Amino acid sequence: MVVNVSRKKTKGITESVESDSLQLLLEFRHRIRACCEEARKVNGKPKIVYLWLCVTERGIGHSGPSGANGSGASTLALHEWLTIVDEAASMGSDWLVLTLLTELGRHPDVFRVAEWAQKTHGMTIGFHLGVPTLTDAEIKQLERFDRQKTRIMVRREDLDKMRHLQALGFTVWTANPQEEGGKPDCQGPARMIYVNAKGELYTCGLVDGHPDYRMGHALERPLRAVVADPSVPHYVDESIHTVSPACDGCPSLVANFFRDNL
């Protein structure tokens, strides 16, 4: 038996399916945000404001020579990074800063993680560009984000390279607003979660790779448990707590200098 369906009717069916799928996605996002808001109410005043992720040439979530947590752990999948964002949001985080030590468009998952954070949780996104040049394709990807809730950060000497983004409506910030060598004018690690490209948690980006400040791995246990654990380091010793290039893009520091334009 042959059933003839007009193109107009087929188009109508397709549009209906797409509309239903979009509605389901919007409802899913709404429910996640509602759960996070409820968690904030239950837990009182938020303790975490910033989620800071690092992206290297190898991307985000690659394991180290002996595995991300020393047990041969494999690369973190995209959904695991999204879970990290969800957890941070449930703890009150409303900022996601991505420090990119490579080209912005080299790893597409960066955009997916950022888009999830902004559209699902309403986070402000900071793209800290270690490579201060952008292709037309990368700019097109950036244009998908809410200009009011997106910040582009580069070192002071590279600001002129980003003027064209200001013309497109983006806010460009200095990633290193404080002179090196002094005590960081920041809120410290108490309001921040730092996760490096291997999925390892450190007190902050300044001490990334320092064994004395490793707080574990993002997949070992919930972030809330790590933050509440008094046995892991929650501060940086004054002897090494000085401004250096490792502080570039630190949301806890940068936000203090641009608090009137958050």
Residues whose CB falls within 8 Å of the CB of residue 121, separated by 6 or more in sequence, listed in order: 32, 33, 36, 85, 86, 89, 94
The class (CATH top level) of 45-261 is: alpha beta
Question: What ranges do the domains of the chain cover?
Answer: 1-44, 45-261
Contact 129, 99 (CB under 8 A): no
**Which residue, chain included where needed, has tokens 């800063």?**
97
pLDDT, one tens digit for every residue, the chain (262 residues): 444 545 454 455 445 545 555 565 555 555 555 444 444 443 444 467 899 999 888 776 554 433 444 444 446 889 999 999 999 999 999 999 999 999 999 999 999 999 999 999 999 999 999 999 999 999 999 999 999 999 999 999 999 999 999 999 999 999 999 889 988 888 777 789 999 988 999 999 999 999 999 999 998 999 999 999 999 998 889 888 899 999 999 988 888 787 655 4
Using only C-alpha atoms, the chain has a radius of gyration, in whole angstroms, of 20
